[in-house]
Chain A
Amino acid sequence: MSADDGNVLEVRDLSLDFGSARGRVHALRHVNLTVPRGRIVGLVGESGSGKSTLAVATIGLLAGNAEVVGGEILFEGRDVLKMSERELRAIRGRRASMIFQDPMTALNPVRSIATQMTDIQYRDGISDREKRRRAVEMLSRVGIPDPENRIEAFPHQFSGGMRQRICIAMALLAEPALLLADEPTTALDATLEVQIIGLLRRLQEEIGCSILFVSHHLGTVAELCDDVVVMYAGEVIERGSVGDVFHNPAHPYTHALIECDPGRIKEKTRQLPTIPGEVPDSIHVPAGCVFRDRCPRAFERCAREWPPEYVANEDRQHYASCHLLDRDGEAGQ
Chain B
Amino acid sequence: MAETDASEVETTLSQEPGALLQYWRQLRKDPLGLTGLALVLIMVGSALFAPWIVPYDPNQILVGPKLEGPSWAHWMGTDQLGRDLFSRVIMGGRIALQVALASLLAALTAGLLLGLIAGFGPRWLDNGLLLLFDAVRSFPVIIFALALVTLLGPSLYTVIFVVAITAVPIYARIVRTQTLAIRSNEYIMAERSMGAGTGRILGMHILPNVIGPLLILASMDVPLVITLEAGLSFLGMGVRPPTPSWGTILNDGYSYIRNSAWPVVFGGIPIIATTLGFTFLGEALRDIFDPKLRRDL
Chain A residues proximal to chain B, CB less than 8 Å? 18-22, 25, 27, 47-53, 56, 63, 65-66, 234, 282
Contacts and interface: CB of A to CB of B under 8 A. Distances in A.
A184 B2 CA distance: 15
A18 B3 contact: no
Interface string B1-23: 11111111000000000000000
B79 to A, nearest CB: 52
Contacts of B4: 18, 25, 27, 48, 50, 53, 234, 282
Contact of A20 (B1, B3, B6): B6
B3 A56 contact: no
A47 B1 CA distance: 11
A18 B5 contact: yes
B3 A63 contact: no
Contact of B8 (A22, A48, A49, A66): A22
Nearest to A18: B6
A53 B8 contact: no
A191 to B, nearest CB: 26
Contacts of A20: 6-8
Contacts of A18: 2, 4-6
Contacts of B5: 18, 63
A234 B2 CA distance: 11
A60 to B, nearest CB: 14
Nearest to B1: A52
A27 B8 contact: no
Nearest to A49: B3
B4 to A, nearest CB: 5
A51 B4 CA distance: 10
A56 B1 contact: yes
Contacts of B3: 47-53
Contacts of B8: 20-22
Given A22-B8, A51-B3, A52-B3, 6 more contacts: A19-B6, A47-B3, A50-B4, A53-B2, A56-B1, A66-B2
A104 to B, nearest CB: 15
Chain B, interface SS category: loop
A52 B7 contact: no
Nearest to A61: B1
A56 B2 contact: yes
A66 B7 CA distance: 11
Please give me the 8 A-B residue pairs with the lowest Cβ-Cβ distance, nearest first. A20-B6, A18-B6, A53-B2, A27-B4, A48-B3, A65-B6, A25-B6, A21-B8
A54 B4 CA distance: 11
Nearest to B10: A21
27 contacts: A18-B2, A18-B5, A18-B6, A19-B6, A20-B6, A20-B7, A21-B6, A22-B8, A25-B4, A27-B2, A27-B4, A47-B3, A50-B2, A50-B3, A50-B4, A51-B3, A52-B1, A52-B2, A52-B3, A53-B2, A53-B3, A53-B4, A56-B1, A63-B1, A63-B5, A234-B4, A282-B4
A20 B9 CA distance: 11
Contacts of A282: 4
Contacts of B2: 18, 27, 50, 52-53, 56, 63, 66
Contacts of B1: 52, 56, 63
A48 B5 CA distance: 9
Nearest to A20: B6
B294 to A, nearest CB: 13
Contacts of A48: 3-4
With most chain A CB atoms within 10 A of its CB, the pick from B1, B2, B7 is B2
Contacts of B6: 18-21, 25, 63, 65
Nearest to B291: A21
A68 B4 CA distance: 15
A181 to B, nearest CB: 15
Residue with the greatest number of chain B CB neighbours at <10 A, chosen from A47, A51, A53:
A53
A130 to B, nearest CB: 35
A18 B4 CA distance: 8
Nearest to A182: B1
Interface in B102-143: none
A18 B1 CA distance: 13
Nearest to B8: A21
Interface in B37-57: none
A31 to B, nearest CB: 13
A278 to B, nearest CB: 15
Contacts of A27: 2, 4
A143 to B, nearest CB: 28
Nearest to A62: B2
Contacts of A21: 6, 8
A49 B7 CA distance: 17
A282 B2 CA distance: 13
Contacts of A66: 2
Contacts of A47: 3
A19 B8 CA distance: 10
Contacts of A49: 3
A279 B274 CA distance: 51
A272 B32 CA distance: 56
Contacts of B7: 20, 65
A58 to B, nearest CB: 13
A50 B6 CA distance: 12
B206 to A, nearest CB: 28
A127 B264 CA distance: 68
A51 B7 CA distance: 18
